[in-house]
Amino acid sequence: MEEIKKITIQSGVGKFGDNEDKIDNIELKMGQVVSIVGPTGSGKTNLINDIALFANRNTPSNRRVLINDALPPSEYIEDPSKNPVSYITQHTNFLSDLPVYKFLSIHAKIRNGHSNNDAVVEETLDFANKLTGEPINKDGSMTALSGGQTRSLLISDAVVIGNSPIILLDEIENAGIHRTRALELLRNYKKIFIFVTHDPRITLLSDFRVIMKNGAIQNLITTNENEKKAVLTIKNIDDLMLELRMLIRDGQYINPQFIRSKIVHCLSTIDGSGSGSDKNQDFSDVPDFHNIHNVQNVQNVQNAQNAQNIQNIHKELN
Ligand SMILES: Nc1ncnc2c1ncn2[C@@H]1O[C@H](COP(=O)(O)OP(=O)(O)OP(=O)(O)O)[C@@H](O)[C@H]1O
Ligand SMILES: [Mg+2]
Protein backbone atom coordinates (compact mmCIF):
# COMPACT_ATOMS: atom_id res chain seq x y z
CA MET A 1 0.00 0.00 0.00
CA GLU A 2 1.25 3.49 -0.82
CA GLU A 3 2.81 5.36 2.09
CA ILE A 4 0.63 8.21 3.34
CA LYS A 5 2.43 11.53 3.15
CA LYS A 6 -0.43 13.97 3.55
CA ILE A 7 -4.17 14.48 3.83
CA THR A 8 -5.93 17.38 2.15
CA ILE A 9 -9.31 18.69 3.28
CA GLN A 10 -11.03 20.48 0.43
CA SER A 11 -13.57 23.05 1.54
CA GLY A 12 -17.31 22.58 1.84
CA VAL A 13 -20.10 24.33 3.71
CA GLY A 14 -21.13 24.82 7.33
CA LYS A 15 -24.39 23.98 9.06
CA PHE A 16 -26.59 26.58 7.46
CA GLY A 17 -25.59 25.86 3.88
CA ASP A 18 -24.56 29.39 2.95
CA ASN A 19 -21.59 29.74 5.31
CA GLU A 20 -18.69 28.22 3.43
CA ASP A 21 -15.40 26.95 4.83
CA LYS A 22 -13.01 29.90 4.68
CA ILE A 23 -9.89 27.88 3.83
CA ASP A 24 -9.97 26.14 0.46
CA ASN A 25 -7.41 23.39 1.11
CA ILE A 26 -6.02 22.31 4.45
CA GLU A 27 -2.96 20.08 4.21
CA LEU A 28 -2.01 17.83 7.10
CA LYS A 29 1.45 16.33 6.63
CA MET A 30 2.81 13.09 8.06
CA GLY A 31 4.28 13.72 11.52
CA GLN A 32 2.08 16.73 12.26
CA VAL A 33 -0.17 17.20 15.27
CA VAL A 34 -3.27 19.27 14.59
CA SER A 35 -6.04 20.51 16.87
CA ILE A 36 -9.61 21.30 15.93
CA VAL A 37 -11.13 23.95 18.20
CA GLY A 38 -14.38 25.90 18.46
CA PRO A 39 -17.47 26.26 20.63
CA THR A 40 -19.82 23.38 21.41
CA GLY A 41 -21.85 22.50 18.33
CA SER A 42 -19.44 24.29 15.96
CA GLY A 43 -18.77 21.19 13.84
CA LYS A 44 -15.50 19.81 15.27
CA THR A 45 -16.69 16.19 15.49
CA ASN A 46 -18.34 16.57 12.11
CA LEU A 47 -15.02 17.64 10.57
CA ILE A 48 -13.13 14.60 11.88
CA ASN A 49 -16.03 12.40 10.83
CA ASP A 50 -15.43 13.74 7.31
CA ILE A 51 -11.80 12.64 7.58
CA ALA A 52 -12.71 9.22 9.03
CA LEU A 53 -15.20 8.67 6.17
CA PHE A 54 -12.86 10.02 3.44
CA ALA A 55 -15.70 12.35 2.51
CA ASN A 56 -16.11 12.82 -1.21
CA ARG A 57 -18.74 15.55 -1.50
CA ASN A 58 -21.15 12.96 -0.09
CA THR A 59 -21.58 14.22 3.52
CA PRO A 60 -23.68 17.17 4.79
CA SER A 61 -20.60 19.43 4.71
CA ASN A 62 -19.90 18.62 1.06
CA ARG A 63 -16.16 18.45 1.84
CA ARG A 64 -13.67 16.22 0.05
CA VAL A 65 -10.69 14.46 1.63
CA LEU A 66 -7.67 13.53 -0.47
CA ILE A 67 -4.74 11.28 0.41
CA ASN A 68 -1.45 12.20 -1.28
CA ASP A 69 -3.38 14.58 -3.56
CA ALA A 70 -5.66 11.83 -4.93
CA LEU A 71 -8.95 10.20 -4.03
CA PRO A 72 -8.24 7.48 -1.47
CA PRO A 73 -8.16 3.90 -2.80
CA SER A 74 -11.54 2.21 -2.42
CA GLU A 75 -9.98 -0.57 -0.31
CA TYR A 76 -9.50 1.97 2.52
CA ILE A 77 -13.26 2.05 2.84
CA GLU A 78 -14.14 -1.49 1.79
CA ASP A 79 -11.53 -3.45 3.78
CA PRO A 80 -11.33 -2.48 7.48
CA SER A 81 -7.85 -4.03 7.80
CA LYS A 82 -6.58 -1.60 5.14
CA ASN A 83 -8.21 1.49 6.63
CA PRO A 84 -5.34 3.81 7.67
CA VAL A 85 -7.48 5.73 10.18
CA SER A 86 -8.00 4.96 13.88
CA TYR A 87 -10.77 7.03 15.40
CA ILE A 88 -11.17 7.33 19.16
CA THR A 89 -14.55 9.00 19.52
CA GLN A 90 -16.09 10.91 22.41
CA HIS A 91 -17.87 7.71 23.40
CA THR A 92 -15.54 4.88 22.30
CA ASN A 93 -15.36 2.01 24.75
CA PHE A 94 -14.12 -1.56 24.75
CA LEU A 95 -17.06 -3.93 24.44
CA SER A 96 -15.28 -6.98 25.80
CA ASP A 97 -14.83 -8.60 29.16
CA LEU A 98 -11.72 -10.52 28.11
CA PRO A 99 -8.62 -10.06 30.26
CA VAL A 100 -6.60 -7.07 29.00
CA TYR A 101 -3.57 -9.12 27.91
CA LYS A 102 -5.67 -11.63 26.04
CA PHE A 103 -7.65 -8.92 24.24
CA LEU A 104 -4.48 -7.15 23.09
CA SER A 105 -2.91 -10.47 21.98
CA ILE A 106 -5.94 -11.27 19.86
CA HIS A 107 -5.94 -7.80 18.31
CA ALA A 108 -2.20 -8.05 17.60
CA LYS A 109 -2.69 -11.47 16.01
CA ILE A 110 -5.48 -10.21 13.75
CA ARG A 111 -3.46 -7.15 12.82
CA ASN A 112 -0.01 -8.73 12.35
CA GLY A 113 -1.00 -12.24 11.40
CA HIS A 114 1.45 -14.12 13.59
CA SER A 115 0.92 -15.58 17.04
CA ASN A 116 4.01 -14.45 18.91
CA ASN A 117 2.98 -10.92 19.70
CA ASP A 118 4.21 -10.67 23.30
CA ALA A 119 6.62 -7.83 22.55
CA VAL A 120 4.03 -5.64 20.82
CA VAL A 121 1.46 -6.35 23.55
CA GLU A 122 4.00 -5.41 26.24
CA GLU A 123 4.85 -2.22 24.36
CA THR A 124 1.14 -1.37 24.14
CA LEU A 125 0.64 -1.85 27.89
CA ASP A 126 3.80 0.05 28.66
CA PHE A 127 2.75 2.99 26.51
CA ALA A 128 -0.78 3.03 27.98
CA ASN A 129 0.71 3.08 31.49
CA LYS A 130 2.78 6.12 30.58
CA LEU A 131 -0.38 7.96 29.50
CA THR A 132 -2.44 7.28 32.61
CA GLY A 133 -1.66 7.65 36.30
CA GLU A 134 -3.25 4.35 37.32
CA PRO A 135 -1.32 1.22 36.27
CA ILE A 136 -3.38 -1.21 34.18
CA ASN A 137 -3.77 -4.75 35.51
CA LYS A 138 -3.09 -6.89 32.44
CA ASP A 139 -4.83 -9.91 33.93
CA GLY A 140 -7.94 -7.91 34.88
CA SER A 141 -11.00 -7.68 32.68
CA MET A 142 -11.28 -4.96 30.03
CA THR A 143 -14.60 -3.85 31.49
CA ALA A 144 -12.97 -3.24 34.89
CA LEU A 145 -10.73 -0.47 33.48
CA SER A 146 -11.41 3.11 34.61
CA GLY A 147 -12.25 5.82 32.08
CA GLY A 148 -8.65 7.09 32.02
CA GLN A 149 -7.22 3.58 31.68
CA THR A 150 -9.67 2.74 28.88
CA ARG A 151 -8.81 5.89 26.91
CA SER A 152 -5.08 5.33 27.41
CA LEU A 153 -5.33 1.74 26.26
CA LEU A 154 -7.44 2.74 23.23
CA ILE A 155 -4.85 5.31 22.17
CA SER A 156 -1.97 2.93 22.78
CA ASP A 157 -3.74 0.09 20.96
CA ALA A 158 -4.37 2.35 17.94
CA VAL A 159 -0.79 3.65 17.89
CA VAL A 160 1.20 0.49 18.67
CA ILE A 161 -0.84 -2.57 17.64
CA GLY A 162 -3.06 -0.87 15.05
CA ASN A 163 -0.02 1.02 13.75
CA SER A 164 -2.47 3.38 12.01
CA PRO A 165 -0.82 6.29 10.18
CA ILE A 166 -3.76 8.62 10.90
CA ILE A 167 -5.15 8.90 14.43
CA LEU A 168 -8.23 10.95 15.25
CA LEU A 169 -8.98 11.74 18.88
CA ASP A 170 -12.19 13.43 19.97
CA GLU A 171 -11.78 15.19 23.36
CA ILE A 172 -9.37 13.17 25.48
CA GLU A 173 -8.95 15.94 28.04
CA ASN A 174 -11.37 14.75 30.68
CA ALA A 175 -10.07 11.23 30.51
CA GLY A 176 -7.40 11.31 33.25
CA ILE A 177 -4.50 11.33 30.79
CA HIS A 178 -1.14 13.09 31.29
CA ARG A 179 -1.62 15.52 28.43
CA THR A 180 1.83 17.08 28.09
CA ARG A 181 3.50 13.70 28.37
CA ALA A 182 1.00 12.09 25.99
CA LEU A 183 1.74 14.68 23.30
CA GLU A 184 5.50 14.28 23.77
CA LEU A 185 5.26 10.49 23.56
CA LEU A 186 2.88 10.49 20.60
CA ARG A 187 5.30 12.68 18.65
CA ASN A 188 7.82 9.83 18.79
CA TYR A 189 5.52 7.89 16.48
CA LYS A 190 5.43 9.26 12.95
CA LYS A 191 1.73 9.72 12.31
CA ILE A 192 -0.83 12.41 11.63
CA PHE A 193 -2.60 13.12 14.93
CA ILE A 194 -5.79 15.15 14.86
CA PHE A 195 -7.24 16.21 18.19
CA VAL A 196 -10.67 17.71 18.72
CA THR A 197 -10.06 19.66 21.89
CA HIS A 198 -11.19 22.39 24.26
CA ASP A 199 -7.85 22.18 26.08
CA PRO A 200 -5.33 25.04 25.63
CA ARG A 201 -2.44 22.73 26.52
CA ILE A 202 -3.19 20.20 23.79
CA THR A 203 -3.87 23.04 21.34
CA LEU A 204 -0.59 24.84 21.95
CA LEU A 205 1.40 21.59 21.76
CA SER A 206 -0.04 21.10 18.26
CA ASP A 207 1.60 22.41 15.10
CA PHE A 208 -1.52 24.29 14.11
CA ARG A 209 -5.19 24.58 14.90
CA VAL A 210 -8.32 24.68 12.79
CA ILE A 211 -10.95 27.08 14.11
CA MET A 212 -14.60 26.04 13.65
CA LYS A 213 -17.84 28.06 13.87
CA ASN A 214 -21.39 27.18 12.81
CA GLY A 215 -20.13 23.99 11.19
CA ALA A 216 -17.65 25.79 8.94
CA ILE A 217 -13.84 26.13 9.01
CA GLN A 218 -13.03 29.74 9.93
CA ASN A 219 -9.26 29.90 10.12
CA LEU A 220 -6.01 28.04 10.44
CA ILE A 221 -3.55 29.27 13.07
CA THR A 222 0.04 28.06 13.30
CA THR A 223 1.27 27.82 16.89
CA ASN A 224 3.88 30.57 17.33
CA GLU A 225 6.98 30.54 19.54
CA ASN A 226 5.39 32.75 22.20
CA GLU A 227 2.45 30.38 22.46
CA LYS A 228 4.77 27.39 22.80
CA LYS A 229 6.47 29.14 25.74
CA ALA A 230 3.09 29.59 27.44
CA VAL A 231 2.56 25.81 27.65
CA LEU A 232 4.60 25.49 30.85
CA THR A 233 2.62 28.28 32.54
CA ILE A 234 -0.67 26.68 31.48
CA LYS A 235 0.57 23.32 32.81
CA ASN A 236 1.36 24.92 36.17
CA ILE A 237 -2.06 26.57 36.35
CA ASP A 238 -3.66 23.25 35.43
CA ASP A 239 -1.59 21.43 38.03
CA LEU A 240 -2.64 23.96 40.69
CA MET A 241 -6.30 23.26 39.92
CA LEU A 242 -5.60 19.53 40.07
CA GLU A 243 -3.83 19.87 43.43
CA LEU A 244 -6.73 21.91 44.83
CA ARG A 245 -9.20 19.33 43.59
CA MET A 246 -7.23 16.50 45.15
CA LEU A 247 -6.81 18.30 48.48
CA ILE A 248 -10.53 19.03 48.67
CA ARG A 249 -11.36 15.47 47.71
CA ASP A 250 -9.01 14.32 50.44
CA GLY A 251 -10.97 16.29 53.07
CA GLN A 252 -8.28 18.97 53.57
CA TYR A 253 -8.62 22.71 54.24
CA ILE A 254 -7.31 25.05 51.56
CA ASN A 255 -4.75 27.65 52.60
CA PRO A 256 -5.00 30.83 50.47
CA GLN A 257 -1.28 31.41 51.03
CA PHE A 258 -0.61 28.09 49.36
CA ILE A 259 -2.63 29.26 46.34
CA ARG A 260 -0.78 32.55 46.34
CA SER A 261 2.64 30.90 46.37
CA LYS A 262 1.59 28.64 43.52
CA ILE A 263 0.37 31.60 41.49
CA VAL A 264 3.64 33.41 42.13
CA HIS A 265 5.36 30.30 40.82
CA CYS A 266 3.10 30.30 37.74
CA LEU A 267 4.02 33.95 37.14
CA SER A 268 7.69 33.03 37.34
CA THR A 269 7.25 30.73 34.37
CA ILE A 270 6.04 33.51 32.09
CA ASP A 271 8.66 34.36 29.50
CA GLY A 272 11.93 35.66 30.88
CA SER A 273 11.08 35.68 34.56
CA GLY A 274 12.00 32.13 35.52
CA SER A 275 12.66 28.60 34.40
CA GLY A 276 9.57 27.14 35.96
CA SER A 277 11.49 24.85 38.25
CA ASP A 278 10.58 24.91 41.94
CA LYS A 279 14.25 24.84 42.89
CA ASN A 280 16.73 27.72 42.85
CA GLN A 281 14.10 30.31 42.00
CA ASP A 282 14.87 33.91 42.83
CA PHE A 283 11.59 35.45 43.91
CA SER A 284 13.21 38.47 45.55
CA ASP A 285 11.63 40.85 43.05
CA VAL A 286 8.16 39.48 43.64
CA PRO A 287 6.36 41.50 46.33
CA ASP A 288 5.17 39.49 49.32
CA PHE A 289 6.97 36.31 48.42
CA HIS A 290 9.06 36.37 51.63
CA ASN A 291 5.87 36.72 53.60
CA ILE A 292 4.48 33.68 51.92
CA HIS A 293 7.70 31.92 52.72
CA ASN A 294 7.34 32.79 56.41
CA VAL A 295 3.76 31.63 56.45
CA GLN A 296 4.92 28.39 54.95
CA ASN A 297 7.65 28.04 57.56
CA VAL A 298 5.11 28.05 60.35
CA GLN A 299 2.83 25.52 58.78
CA ASN A 300 0.99 23.35 61.23
CA VAL A 301 0.98 19.58 61.10
CA GLN A 302 -1.95 19.52 58.74
CA ASN A 303 -0.19 21.78 56.29
CA ALA A 304 2.91 19.61 56.48
CA GLN A 305 0.70 16.73 55.52
CA ASN A 306 -0.69 18.87 52.68
CA ALA A 307 2.85 19.46 51.51
CA GLN A 308 3.50 15.72 51.55
CA ASN A 309 0.33 15.12 49.53
CA ILE A 310 1.35 17.79 47.06
CA GLN A 311 4.76 16.18 46.70
CA ASN A 312 3.07 12.88 45.99
CA ILE A 313 0.84 14.52 43.40
CA HIS A 314 3.92 16.11 41.83
CA LYS A 315 5.65 12.74 41.68
CA GLU A 316 2.60 11.32 39.98
CA LEU A 317 2.46 14.18 37.48
CA ASN A 318 6.15 14.22 36.54
N1 LIG B 1 -20.78 21.33 7.89
C2 LIG B 1 -21.90 20.85 8.43
N3 LIG B 1 -22.98 20.59 7.68
C4 LIG B 1 -24.12 20.11 8.22
N5 LIG B 1 -24.29 19.83 9.53
C6 LIG B 1 -23.26 20.05 10.34
C7 LIG B 1 -22.02 20.57 9.84
N8 LIG B 1 -21.16 20.69 10.89
C9 LIG B 1 -21.83 20.28 11.97
N10 LIG B 1 -23.09 19.89 11.66
C11 LIG B 1 -24.10 19.38 12.60
O12 LIG B 1 -24.13 20.25 13.74
C13 LIG B 1 -24.24 19.52 14.94
C14 LIG B 1 -23.08 19.84 15.88
O15 LIG B 1 -21.86 19.50 15.27
P16 LIG B 1 -20.70 18.70 16.01
O17 LIG B 1 -21.25 17.58 16.80
O18 LIG B 1 -19.67 18.37 14.99
O19 LIG B 1 -20.17 19.85 17.01
P20 LIG B 1 -18.93 19.82 18.00
O21 LIG B 1 -18.13 21.04 17.71
O22 LIG B 1 -18.23 18.51 17.93
O23 LIG B 1 -19.64 19.99 19.41
P24 LIG B 1 -19.17 19.46 20.88
O25 LIG B 1 -18.04 20.39 21.31
O26 LIG B 1 -20.39 19.66 21.69
O27 LIG B 1 -18.75 18.03 20.75
C28 LIG B 1 -24.28 18.05 14.54
O29 LIG B 1 -25.64 17.65 14.50
C30 LIG B 1 -23.68 18.04 13.15
O31 LIG B 1 -24.16 16.98 12.36
MG1 LIG C 1 -17.97 16.92 19.32
Mean pLDDT of 44-69: 96
Q: Could you tell me the distance, in angstroms and rounded to a whole number, from the CA of residue 56 to the centre of ligand 2?
A: 21
Specify the CATH number for the domain of residue 10: 3.40.50.300
- Of 160, 189, 224, the residue at which a domain comes to its end is 224
Whether residue 67 has pLDDT greater than 50:
yes
Which of 174, 197, 224 is at the close of a domain?
A: 224
Long-range contacts of 118-124 (CB under 8 A, 24+ apart): 120/160, 120/161, 121/161, 123/160, 124/153, 124/156, 124/157, 124/160, 124/161
Percent of the chain's residues with pLDDT above 70: 82
Q: Are residues 303 and 242 in the same domain?
A: yes
Q: Are residues 72 and 185 in the same domain?
A: yes
Mean pLDDT of the chain: 84
Final residue in a domain of this structure, among 201, 224, 247: 224
Same domain, 53 and 111: yes
**pLDDT value of residue 177:** 77
Residues 28 and 69 in one domain: yes
Residues 217 and 243 in one domain: no
Contact 205/242 with Cβ under 8 angstroms?
no
Distance of CA 139 to the CA centre of its chain: 26
Give me the mean pLDDT over the 47-61 stretch.
96
pLDDT in tens, 229-270: 899 899 899 889 989 988 998 999 999 999 999 999 888 888
pLDDT(44) > 90: yes
Whether residue 253 sits in one domain with residue 215: no
Q: Is residue 26 in a domain?
A: yes
Inside any domain, residue 286: yes
Q: Which atom of ligand 1 lies nearest, measured to the CA of 47? A: 18
Supply the range of the domain harboring residue 213.
6-224
Determine whether the shortest distance from the Cβ of 89 to ligand 1 is under 6 A. no
C-beta 46 within 6 A of ligand 1:
yes
Q: Which residues contact 268 (CB under 8 A, 6 or more apart)?
A: 274, 276, 281, 283, 286
Q: Which residue has the least CA distance to atom 14 on ligand 1? A: 41
Domain match, 306 and 209 both: no
- Answer yes or no: do 81 and 212 share one domain: yes
Q: What pLDDT, on the 0 to 100 scale, is given for residue 82?
A: 86
Examine residue 1 and state whether it is found in any structural domain, yes or no.
Answer: no
Q: Say what the pLDDT of residue 285 is.
A: 35
Measure the CA–CA gap between 108 and 161, rounded to whole angstroms.
6
Q: Residue 257: inside a domain, yes or no?
A: yes
Q: Is the CB of 99 under 6 A from ligand 1?
A: no
Q: Measure 56 CA to ligand 1 centroid, in angstroms.
A: 18
| Paired strand residues for 196 | 36, 170
Pocket flag, ligand 1, residue 60 (CB < 6 Å): yes
The answer on 120 and 253 residing in a single domain is no
Q: Is residue 202 situated within a structural domain?
A: yes
Q: Is 162 in the pocket of ligand 1 (CB under 6 A)?
A: no
Quick one: pLDDT at residue 7?
97
Domains contained in the chain, number? 2
Residues facing residue 212 across a β-bridge? 217
- Nearest-CA residue for atom 16 of ligand 1: 43
DSSP-based helix, strand, coil % in the chain, nearest 5: 45, 15, 40
Q: Could you tell me whether strands 33-37 and 192-196 are parallel, antiparallel, or unpaired per DSSP bridges?
A: parallel
Q: What is the pLDDT of residue 116?
A: 76
Q: Summarize the confidence of residues 157-163 as an average pLDDT.
A: 90
Residue 37 in contact with residue 152, Cβ under 8 Å? no
